[in-house]
Structures are given as structure tokens and as C-alpha cells.
């Protein structure tokens, strides 16, 4: 994303992607923080499988770009409150979509400020 462009994401937390992709968040369970992110994780896994099996659609490609854009917004938001962002900065530099999606999905639960 170019610096002069305004992001469609604020970068506060991963739920922005849930709503952006038209998904419903999972059930809130204070004892299982991953339950709420489950629909997003499943959606990202579907995109990953399409990528691996060379069945990526134009929407999938755009969704990967949107994940990258969200990550940049998250990093910027985290800088404003002096939150450690080195792992996310490293992830943002990963060019290969397959590797990016694997680790983006693994880290999604921690992407909130």
C-alpha cells in the first residue's frame, strides 16, 4: 500500500477483517479466545488451499491484498501506542503469499491493540 493512500482499515483488531470479508464472528468465550476468530481462520484456510491447489480466484487475490493492507494498518496503529511490532513488521516483508498466509493466520488472534 502506498503511503499517501488511506487504508480501509484502522488496525485496531482482527475483527475488522471478519466484517470486511462478510463473515460472522464466532461465539465469544473468555476461556477460548480462538473460538471468536474461528470463522476468519477457516476463511483464510480456504484461501490458502485455493492458493496451494492453484485455484486462486480474483476475489482470493484481493483478499490476500486486504490482509496485507490490514497488517500495515495494524502496525501503524501499534506504533502510535508504542506496542512491540517487530514480528508483524517482519511478516509484512514476506513477499510469497503462501508463506504470508500461513503465518498471518497463525498470528491473527494476537492482532489487536
Kindly report, residue by residue over 16-28, the tens digit of the pLDDT.
999 999 998 888 7
Q: What are phi and psi of 13, to 5 degrees?
A: -160, 165
pLDDT tens digit sequence for 89-105: 999 999 999 999 999 99
Q: Among positive and negative, which fits the CA dihedral 71, 74, 79, 85?
A: negative
Q: Quick check: is 9 in a domain? A: no
Q: Quick check: is 2 in a domain? A: no
Task: Look over the chain and give the mean of its residue pLDDT values, rounded to a whole number.
Answer: 91
Q: Give the HSE-up count for residue 49: Cα atoms under 13 Å, Cβ half-sphere.
A: 6
Q: Would you state the pLDDT for residue 108?
A: 93
State the residue range of the domain holding 98. Answer: 37-110
Q: Specify the higher pLDDT residue, 6 or 75.
A: 75
Q: Quick check: is 22 in a domain? A: no
Q: Quick check: is 104 in a domain? A: yes
Q: Quick check: is 47 in a domain? A: yes
For residues 61-80, average pLDDT: 95
Q: Give the HSE-up count for residue 100: Cα atoms under 13 Å, Cβ half-sphere.
A: 19
Q: Would you state the pLDDT for residue 35?
A: 84
**pLDDT tops 80 at residue 41:** yes
Q: Which three cell numbers stand for residue 111?
A: 492482532
Q: Quick check: is 100 in a domain? A: yes
CA 8 from chain center: how many Å? 13
Q: What is the number of structural domains in the chain? A: 1
Distance CA 47, CA 11 (A): 21
Q: Quick check: is 15 in a domain? A: no
Q: Quick check: is 99 in a domain? A: yes
Amino acid at each position: 500500500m502506498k503511503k499517501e493512500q488511506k487504508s480501509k482499515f484502522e488496525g485496531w483488531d482482527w475483527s475488522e477483517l471478519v466484517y470486511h470479508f462478510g463473515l460472522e464472528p464466532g461465539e465469544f468465550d473468555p476461556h477460548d479466545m480462538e473460538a471468536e476468530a474461528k470463522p476468519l481462520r477457516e476463511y483464510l484456510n480456504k484461501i490458502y488451499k485455493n492458493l496451494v491447489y492453484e485455484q486462486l480466484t480474483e476475489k482470493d487475490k484481493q483478499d490476500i491484498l486486504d490482509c496485507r493492507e490490514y497488517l500495515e494498518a495494524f502496525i501503524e496503529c501499534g506504533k502510535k501506542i508504542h506496542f512491540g511490532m517487530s514480528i508483524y513488521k517482519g511478516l509484512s516483508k514476506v513477499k510469497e503469499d503462501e508463506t504470508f498466509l500461513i503465518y498471518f493466520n497463525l498470528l491473527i488472534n494476537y492482532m489487536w491493540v
